[in-house]
Chain A
Amino acid sequence: MVSPNLIKALEAVIGAENVFTSEADRQCYSYDSAVLKPTIPAVVLRPTRTEQLGELIRLCYDAGLAITVRGSGSNLSGGTVPDTSDSAVILTNSLQKILEINTSDLYAVVEPGVITAQFAAAVQAKGLFYPPDPGSMSVSTLAGNICENAGGLRGLKYGVTKDYVMGLEFYDYEGNLVKTGSRTVKCVTGFNLAGLMVASEGTMGVISKAILKLVPPPRASKAMTAEFADVQDAADAVAAMIAAHVVPCTLELLDNASLKYVEADQKIGLPTDAAAMLLIEVDGHPGQVADEAAIVEDVLKKCKATAIHVAKDDAEKNKIWAARRNALPALARARPTCVLEDATVPRSQIPAMMKKLNEIKAKYDLQMGTFGHAGDGNLHPTILTDKRDKEEFARVEAAVDEIFDVALSLGGTLSGEHGIGTAKSKWMEKETSKGTILFSERMRRACDPKGLLNARKITGYSHE
């Protein structure tokens, strides 16, 4: 329960129209994109100016109200689901100003709620490039991307969100404004607190401003697809490209099941008999693109690709990428519930991982398709189910547990880009160490003495 006095105080900061207390409104902030149990918050706050963030945090924290910050709620690991019903959800989606795009110094300054795709488009309009492109970019917010360290298709060559964060401003639990980083390429003034905030999933503070790095756009690109009769051949091709010193900007894989689901849904003429298909794009200077495309083609042939298709123009390139873009929708349409995982393994372990995934699928008798970022080993085994079917969903949960076990045994990681949230927190110690959990918890106690900032997320927080 939130006291009427606190409501009044919150309304004084952001206006009554931005304090949502009705049951219907609160229920709409009880979930995110993760398949998890919803928790209905006590109040939802929508600041319209970044300066209001500090005051809201101070008021909630003093009153002992838990705080979950939410951008667009597209999170896949439960990071934006409130911890308890005694929570305030703070929305950043009315803090959407792009404050500066600096084309001489190659950076931009943004408010936390700017939508990733809109930012990328604004940057492109100024002749520059912001590469991180998570699958939810049409709705995801930049601060959400930072707090999850979101990746995307371009990770292999261009890196992920953390590689573009030059500086941040955020509010701590007392509502103090903290500044870190700068508009300069080099900056060693103080702790790298921006690094701490990246992937912090709302546990350390609330971002109010970000300085993001921009790069010049590639001048040319070329896309192609290759089909394989064996996943091992596809993985060999990936390794051989890297060994030949070609780093494609995107290097995606669809397994046989995914190809079948996409083809059944879209009828775009995909090879449903192939064991795997790779989608490859190289970009850069036109001369370099031509050279690299030739090397890639050569590698594909040597690695026993059964068919290679090079896009002749933009229309053909779009057709190639339609297959990849439609992978998740096609899988999602097959059954009501879609459990999308992102266990990641070293590139060389992709065939072993794919083999294990197929074994798990058979063992638990589940529908599953796997696609993902072959270039960086970030696979998306996607289980299709119906969460209302308790017996089947229990098998799904057992299969997910085993997927994590396998990924870790292959030297991989629990999550490449979706975050830990509450969905994977129980696995944290298994991948890291007891010391890691202890260290994290001590650090969290210093930054959040009452354990109110998304306390159940990542490592959890013992309240005794």
Chain B
Amino acid sequence: MSDISRLASTLMKLDDRLADCMRCGLCQAVCPVFGVTRKEADVSRGKLALVDNLAHKIILDVDAVEEKLNRCLLCGSCQANCPSGVSILKIFMEARQALVEYRGLNPIKKLVFRELLTRPSLFSAMLRMGAPFQGAVMKKRSAKTYDLPLFHKLIGDRHIAKLPMRSLHAKYGDLKVPSKNGITVLFFAGCMADKYYTSLGEASLKVLKHHGVGIVMPSKLTCCGIPALASGDRPGFVMQTKKNLEVLAQSMVMGDGIDYIVTPCGSCTATLKEWWTHFAPEFTPAEQRLIATVAEKTMDINAFLIDVLHVDEKPKAAPSGKVTKVTFHDSCHLKKSCGISAQPRKLIGMNPNYELVEMAEADRCCGCGGSFTLFHYDLSKEIGQRKRNNIVATGAGAVSTGCPACMLQLTDTLSRNMDDVKVKHSIEIYAETLPD
């Protein structure tokens, strides 16, 4: 069988899912990429048609189909709005994998997904090496952000916050905090809260400790796997997940008494719950059982605090100073994949020094899309601009969200526009109400 026939027959496995699309085109109303380009190949209906055509060998231009497929944030807005309930994200993830299998993975991505992200100590070491020198290479852009002219090739002229000197797990090692309220959680910080937004990681730990929750945070946890998956790197995803499962097996099976796995990142939550489960057949029977347990126990930290600890039922303090208007951005993975939107708003409501004002299109994607922003920065910026305009229109002095990747994008887009709007995770806002 020729390579292209093999690719086509791999894609034919998606035929039943592809047949669900009735070409109604309602995805045009919500797709952030289509919103900017208005090209049918950029919206799911067009992409599904192209994958379908490649599977049926109506199109043989694999490069073109791959290029179109990659112009997608995997935000899931289309799937959440799809009348036929097409499992669009699964189709796209699997199609990307089939294409990577067909032509091999880009060597930079291979290095990142299979080496860097599977080795938390190596990843952190690289950041540690970078952090002390960033003063020399970073150019101040606004009050709190910088760009890195020496790294324009890799990350463009993004406006980013300063790198922290130490990652969370380098600081705490294998953290274990005994429980005071009978509940113990495994804290899965995720790469962003562990290495970049360490203040978010610290805020999460502070909140959990304050409420007497026992914490287990193994230092060897690695990336959840979503970047590799989104890039079609199934082997990389499997490698990372196996490393995580090894660590989790030690904590969960060996009797740390883990009641929940809690993450402050919508993308990690969605990956642990949904994608590990979807790709479970790639793993051993023992690993599959663990994956099922992980899916059941994983919870977003906002949902954990509201739905399990009911922290919103406690009395709210009086304002202790100036009240800041804050608006909330729904992360795609948190709202559209996990169905969580009320809980972070309730948490923000617990801080008397903030007044929540809703923005228009609060659940429209910010344009980050993980590695999408690295490879399609211009599109990402344009999508971000619409989000920025909606934020600024509220007159809020702060924007909050439940996902650190969104925080990165919001920071970049607001800083680029010289807007004086702070970006905070909902946990950070809640943590401010608690004593240090």
Residues on A facing B (Cβ under 8 Å): 20, 22-25, 27-33, 35, 38, 46, 72-74, 91, 93-94, 115, 117, 136, 138-139, 328-329, 332-333, 336-338, 386-388
**Chain A residues within an 8 Å CB radius of B59:** 23-24, 27
Q: Which of B18-26, B102-110, B167-175, B246-254 contacts A (4 or more CB under 8 A)?
A: B18-26
**Chain B residues within an 8 Å CB radius of A73:** 23, 25, 40, 45
Report whether B83 and A33 are in contact in the complex, using a CB–CB cutoff of 8 Å: no
Report whether B40 and A28 are in contact in the complex, using a CB–CB cutoff of 8 Å: yes
| Nearest A residue to B43, CB-CB | A28
Q: Which of A24, A29, A46 contacts B61 (CB 8 A)?
A: A24
Q: A262: shortest Cβ distance to chain B, in Å?
A: 12
Residues on B facing A (Cβ under 8 Å): 15-16, 19-20, 22-26, 28-29, 38-41, 45-46, 49-50, 53, 58-59, 61, 64-65, 67-68, 83-85
**A-B interface, 6 closest residue pairs, ranked by CB to CB distance from nearest:** A329-B83, A28-B40, A24-B64, A28-B46, A336-B19, A138-B29
Report whether A72 and B25 are in contact in the complex, using a CB–CB cutoff of 8 Å: yes
* Bound CA–CA A464/B197 (angstroms): 72
**Chain A residues within an 8 Å CB radius of B29:** 115, 117, 138-139
Given the contacts A23-B61, A333-B85, A29 and B40 also touching, CB distance less than 8 Å = yes
Q: A205: shortest Cβ distance to chain B, in Å?
A: 23
Report whether A332 and B65 are in contact in the complex, using a CB–CB cutoff of 8 Å: no
Report whether A32 and B61 are in contact in the complex, using a CB–CB cutoff of 8 Å: no
Given the contacts A22-B64, A23-B61, A136-B25, A31 and B49 also touching, CB distance less than 8 Å = yes
Given the contacts A27-B59, A28-B40, A136 and B26 also touching, CB distance less than 8 Å = yes
Report whether A336 and B20 are in contact in the complex, using a CB–CB cutoff of 8 Å: yes
Report whether A74 and B68 are in contact in the complex, using a CB–CB cutoff of 8 Å: no
* Bound CA–CA A286/B49 (angstroms): 49
Report whether A338 and B38 are in contact in the complex, using a CB–CB cutoff of 8 Å: no
Q: How many A-B residue pairs have CB under 8 A?
A: 88
Q: A308: shortest Cβ distance to chain B, in Å?
A: 29
Report whether A33 and B24 are in contact in the complex, using a CB–CB cutoff of 8 Å: yes
Q: Which of A46, A139, A338 contacts B22 (CB 8 A)?
A: A338
**Chain B residues within an 8 Å CB radius of A336:** 16, 19-20
Q: A12: shortest Cβ distance to chain B, in Å?
A: 21
Report whether A25 and B22 are in contact in the complex, using a CB–CB cutoff of 8 Å: no
- Interface of A (DSSP majority class): loop
Q: A400: shortest Cβ distance to chain B, in Å?
A: 16
**Chain A residues within an 8 Å CB radius of B19:** 336-337, 386-388
**Chain A residues within an 8 Å CB radius of B49:** 27-28, 30-31, 38
| Nearest B residue to A140, CB-CB | B25
Extra 5 A-B pairs, beta carbons < 8 Å, given A23-B64, A24-B59: A24-B50, A27-B58, A29-B40, A33-B25, A329-B84
Report whether B23 and A33 are in contact in the complex, using a CB–CB cutoff of 8 Å: yes
Given the contacts A33-B25, A332-B22, A28 and B84 also touching, CB distance less than 8 Å = no
Q: A422: shortest Cβ distance to chain B, in Å?
A: 15
Q: B113: shortest Cβ distance to chain A, in Å?
A: 27
Q: A62: shortest Cβ distance to chain B, in Å?
A: 27
**Chain B residues within an 8 Å CB radius of A38:** 49
**Chain B residues within an 8 Å CB radius of A22:** 61, 64
Report whether B68 and A24 are in contact in the complex, using a CB–CB cutoff of 8 Å: yes
**Chain A residues within an 8 Å CB radius of B25:** 32-33, 72-74, 136, 139
Report whether A27 and B28 are in contact in the complex, using a CB–CB cutoff of 8 Å: no
**Chain A residues within an 8 Å CB radius of B46:** 28
**Chain A residues within an 8 Å CB radius of B23:** 31-33, 73
* Bound CA–CA A27/B51 (angstroms): 11
Report whether A27 and B24 are in contact in the complex, using a CB–CB cutoff of 8 Å: no
| Nearest B residue to A117, CB-CB | B29
**Chain A residues within an 8 Å CB radius of B84:** 329, 332-333, 338
Residue picked from A74, A136, A336, A338, most chain B C-beta under 10 Å: A336
| Nearest B residue to A34, CB-CB | B23
* Bound CA–CA A338/B85 (angstroms): 13
* Bound CA–CA A35/B23 (angstroms): 9
Q: A382: shortest Cβ distance to chain B, in Å?
A: 11
Report whether A139 and B83 are in contact in the complex, using a CB–CB cutoff of 8 Å: no
| Nearest B residue to A328, CB-CB | B83
**Chain A residues within an 8 Å CB radius of B24:** 33, 74, 136, 332
10 pairs, CB–CB < 8 Å, chain A vs chain B: A24-B64, A30-B49, A46-B38, A72-B28, A91-B38, A94-B38, A115-B29, A136-B26, A333-B20, A337-B22
Q: B125: shortest Cβ distance to chain A, in Å?
A: 42
Q: B50: shortest Cβ distance to chain A, in Å?
A: 6
Report whether A329 and B85 are in contact in the complex, using a CB–CB cutoff of 8 Å: yes
Q: Which of B15, B22, B28, B65 contacts A24 (CB 8 A)?
A: B65
Q: B70: shortest Cβ distance to chain A, in Å?
A: 12
